[in-house]
Chain A
């Protein structure tokens, strides 16, 4: 059975992923996804407010575990399990 890497995101260290976006831009496989936690009518979500956006590993089965994202993360919120 093929084993997939697992990227663990520490959300307390990653409060504003849409503003930082270093991992999203760096990843050669484009596996990350960032989305607003709550979409409200008539309101644009503030990307600088902590907790409004969340990072997830959408295409994690395409991850090669190259650890490029770990190197660019300024707060050390990411860790990888293989």
Chain B
């Protein structure tokens, strides 16, 4: 089981399917010490990432020690990759669901998403009603969607090639459903480039290719944001490295021959503790 399921799951169900983690009471709980930026745990996590990336450059000898410290301390709150199917199930549990601009793309590419047609991120829960308190965070507002619209929206984002991730803000409160890609997503990037595990947890699945149905079209290779899929010239087939796979299911939804299946991580012994 992943650490979030151990701490916040119930009856063996996944933590993001536990209705308690969608409750509005959790939204008001803020964790972490007060800083110059306030008590927003999201900002604090950002400051931590900043410290780590800066260490790699300014203090390379200290970098492994700092990374070890961050990876080994008790983990609270996380961000996890989910396939489209699970993202839709999470949306069914949550209210309201709103499309909004992506904060990472704003930071790292100065991408301004000012209207609903350009929005890429999804906010969940009661916080979406309160966006007007922080207009700088949302820049232009949010677009509240019905469940049907949300399902369509998530499918559209999946088609575009964005990875779905469940975001929490310092605790177990399911506050967002990001649609992200490398390198513009700070979570994916700090995990892949710097090895910061609390930044992003792998999903509950990994992808596997059925070699008999695969016709080597290569569509899945372009879709992978994690560098897990490659075309193996020697054996003339597409292969997925299960250890690099984050289980986002983008390859599965794009495969025209249904040759890729998502396997539950916990049914395979060596993959059980790979998060």
Query: Are A43 and B136 interface neighbours, CB within 8 A?
Result: yes
Question: Bound complex: CA of A29 vs CA of B139, how far in Å?
Answer: 26
In the complex, which residues 43-82 of chain A have their Cβ closer than 8 Å to any Cβ of chain B?
A: 43-45, 58-62
Q: How far is the CA of A30 from the CA of B11 in the complex (A)?
A: 43
What's the Cα separation between A33 and B189 when bound, in Å?
A: 13
**A24 nearest CB across to chain B (Å):** 4
Q: How large is the interface on A (under 10, 10 to 19, 20 to 34, 35 or more residues)?
A: 20 to 34
Q: A58-B50, A61-B57 are in contact. Are A39 and B184 (CB under 8 A)?
A: no
CB distance from B246 to the nearest CB of A (A): 19
Among B50, B53, B133, B184, point to the contact of A30 (Cβ < 8 A): B184
Q: Which residue of A lies closest to B43 (CB)?
A: A39
**Whole-angstrom distance from the CB of A10 to the nearest CB of chain B?**
18
What residues of A have a CB within 8 angstroms of the CB of B60 in the complex? 1-2
Q: Are A18 and B53 in contact (CB under 8 A)?
A: no
- Taking the complex as formed, is A4 at the interface, i.e. its CB lies under 8 A from any CB of chain B? yes
- Chain B hits for A59, CB < 8 A: 53, 183, 189, 193
Q: How far is the CA of A4 from the CA of B189 in the complex (A)?
A: 19
Q: Tell me if B135 is interfacial: C-beta within 8 Å of chain A.
A: yes
Are B57 and A30 in contact, CB atoms less than 8 angstroms apart?
A: no
Residues of A within 8 A of B133 (CB): 41-42
Cα of A24 to Cα of B136 in the assembled complex, Å: 19
A36 touches B136 (CB 8 A): yes
* Interface check A8, CB cutoff 8 A: no
Inter-chain CA distance A79–B90, complex, in Å, is: 47
Q: Across the two chains, which residue of chain B brings its CB closest to A34?
A: B110
Supposing A41-B134, A59-B193, A61-B56 touch, asked if A24 and B139 sit within 8 A by C-beta, the answer is: no
B132 A42 Cβ-Cβ under 8 A? yes
CA distance in complex: A15, B184 (Å): 23
Closest residue to B110 on the A side, CB-wise? A21
Decide if B108 is an interface residue (CB 8 Å cutoff). yes
* CB-based contact B134/A24 at 8 Å: no
A60 to B60, CA, bound (A): 13
User: Is B109 close to A, CB under 8 A?
Assistant: yes
- Could you say which residues of chain A place their CB within 8 Å of the CB of B57? 4, 60-61
In the complex, how many angstroms separate the beta carbon of B254 from the nearest chain A beta carbon? 24
B110 touches A17 (CB 8 A): yes
With A2-B60, A44-B139 as known contacts, state yes or no: A33 contacts B108, CB within 8 Å.
Answer: yes
Tell me the nearest residue of chain A to B182, going by C-beta: A30
Is B137 interfacial (CB 8 A cutoff)?
yes
Interface mask (B114-137 → A, CB under 8 Å = 1, otherwise 0) = 000000000000000000111111
A45 to B139, CA, bound (A): 9
The CA of A48 and the CA of B139, in the complex, are separated in Å by 14
**B108 near A45: Cβ-Cβ < 8 Å:** no
| Interfacial chain A residues near B135, Cβ < 8 Å | 42-44
Complex CA distance for A4 and B134, rounded to whole angstroms: 37
Per-residue interface assignment for chain A, residues 8 to 44, with 1 indicating a CB less than 8 Å from any chain B CB and 0 otherwise: 0000000001100100110001101111100111111
Can you list 14 A-B pairs with a CB-CB distance of less than 8 A? A18-B110, A30-B109, A30-B183, A33-B107, A35-B107, A39-B136, A39-B137, A41-B133, A41-B134, A42-B133, A60-B53, A60-B57, A61-B56, A61-B57
